[in-house]
Structure 1
Amino acid sequence: MSVIYHEKQIRELCALHALNNLFQSKGAFTKEEFDSICKSLSPDNWINPHRSALGLGNYDINVIMKALQNRGYEAIWFDKRKDPGCLDLARIDGFILNIPSDYKISFITIPLKRRHWITLKKINGKFYNLDSKLDNPQQIGEDSEFLCYLREEMDSLDKELFLVVSEEVAKNQSWLKDRNSCYSQTNCRDVVEVQLKDLERGN
């Protein structure tokens, strides 16, 4: 079983950590590359709108999308009106979740509206939450458990999900299964009950 690469949070570089965790490689992306992308997106702005004013990070989705495109991938926004069951998980390289986040200095929480980027990825047959703020990767489970996890996350109005797929998969939309499955939800309680029965059998 391979070791899971998990990059920890530094300053406001969660977007950078998210992509390195997604690609499971230290230095797959760098702050210098992200800053260069910011400048290319807004070359004439004295204060760049795609990162924090102090240049410490806080990169937006435009930087993430461009960075992925430089590697032959696309980030696709997932419409929360659809059920995650319509996703072909085998054709998706990973997921990036955007959530609200408190801003802290030492032990003091400052009431600023901040956003945080988190990678969700399947490794060794299990899905993991590779949030850079976690001490260790958090196992979510297999496909059925992961779909339930996504449903719970997508119930929140202030969270957004992006699928990371290859250019080819993005072009032919093969990340999407039969469209009829887009609005038919699996009962997550049934999934949990089955797992408990498996535990009782010692599986």
Structure 2
Amino acid sequence: MPNEKVKLYHEKQRLQLCGLHSLNSLFQKKVFSKETLDSFVHTHDKSRFWNEYSTFLTGNYDLRILMDALNSKGYVLRAIDISECFETFSYKDCLGLLLNIVVERPFISSIPIVCSFAKPGRHWLTIKSVDGEKYYNFDSKLSQPELIGYQSDLVAYLNKLDRVQTYFYIVIEEDLAAKFEQK
């Protein structure tokens, strides 16, 4: 039915768990928990307090942990290189997009001792289609998902983002990885 409202699963930002929220938005349900992602962290680094994969108690998971989580469900990440055109991808064949963007953290930056221990300010968000036609921004900092529009609108949206400061990843099933190989 064309007028049927699409049900969207959206998690709002809590602590520094944007990576967790992004993963669950990709799957449109709670698939992962903080404990699950922490278990992936501990496969790489047994340290409970200071490690390069997350921030103690609050999350702030890095790319390796998100990759491990996705691999556990049969998915892989494929980076979109800065020289690649967004128009060349078949977004309907992927689970969605993960973006890692720079965020301003003026308070943290103003405290020298905290700034020296804090990781750079970055934020994970998901963009995906739920109905196979329209794309949504599932940024956990938004009060609700934001409609981007159709694939042409998605490409225009992505082209407006800073290609140097933003990291773009396509989430695809392992079986489809060859279809997305860089040419």
TM category (shorter chain) comes to: 0.7 to 0.9
Aligned Cα root-mean-square deviation (Å): 1.9
How big is the shift at 1:149?
1.1
Contact 1:86 1:176 in 2 (8 A): no
Q: Are 1:144 and 2:143 an aligned pair?
A: no
| Whole-Å separation in 1 of the counterparts to 2:150 and 2:124 | 22
| Whole-Å separation in 2 of the counterparts to 1:85 and 1:138 | 21
Contact 2:80 2:170 in 1 (8 A): yes
The CA deviation string for residues 111-144 of structure 1, in whole angstroms up to 9 with x for no partner, is: 2531100000012221000000001110000011
Task: Calculate the TM-score normalised by the size of structure 2.
Answer: 0.86
SS in structure 1 at match of 2:82: coil
Q: What residue ranges of structure 2 are gaps of 5+ in the alignment?
A: 110-114
Q: Which residue of structure 1 lines up, in the alignment, with residue 135 of structure 2?
A: 127
Contact 2:98 2:124 in 1 (8 A): yes
Aligned with 1:110 (options 94, 108, 111)? 108
Q: Which residue of structure 2 lines up, in the alignment, with residue 23 of structure 1?
A: 27
Moved over 4 A (4+): none
The CA deviation string for residues 76-109 of structure 1, in whole angstroms up to 9 with x for no partner, is: 11101110111111211100000011347xxxx3
Task: Calculate the TM-score normalised by the size of structure 1.
Answer: 0.78
Aligned counterparts, 1:52-201, within 5 A:
52=55, 54-103=56-105, 109-111=107-109, 113-124=120-131, 125-153=133-161, 155-170=162-177, 172=178, 174-175=179-180
| Whole-Å separation in 2 of the counterparts to 1:10 and 1:89 | 29
| Whole-Å separation in 1 of the counterparts to 2:124 and 2:49 | 25
Q: Which residue of structure 1 lines up, in the alignment, with residue 112 of structure 2?
A: none
| Whole-Å separation in 2 of the counterparts to 1:45 and 1:132 | 26
Contact 1:102 1:110 in 2 (8 A): no
SS in structure 1 at match of 2:103: strand
Q: Which residue of structure 2 lines up, in the alignment, with residue 13 of structure 1?
A: 17
SS in structure 2 at match of 1:66: helix
Q: What residue ranges of structure 1 are gaps of 5+ in the alignment?
A: 180-203
SS in structure 1 at match of 2:122: strand
- C-alpha spacing 1:176/1:89, structure 2 compared with 1 (3 Å): farther
Pair member with larger Rg:
1
| Whole-Å separation in 1 of the counterparts to 2:94 and 2:75 | 10
The structure that is strand-richer by fraction is 1
The CA deviation string for residues 140-181 of structure 1, in whole angstroms up to 9 with x for no partner, is: 00011111111122x4411110110000111x2x1369x5xx
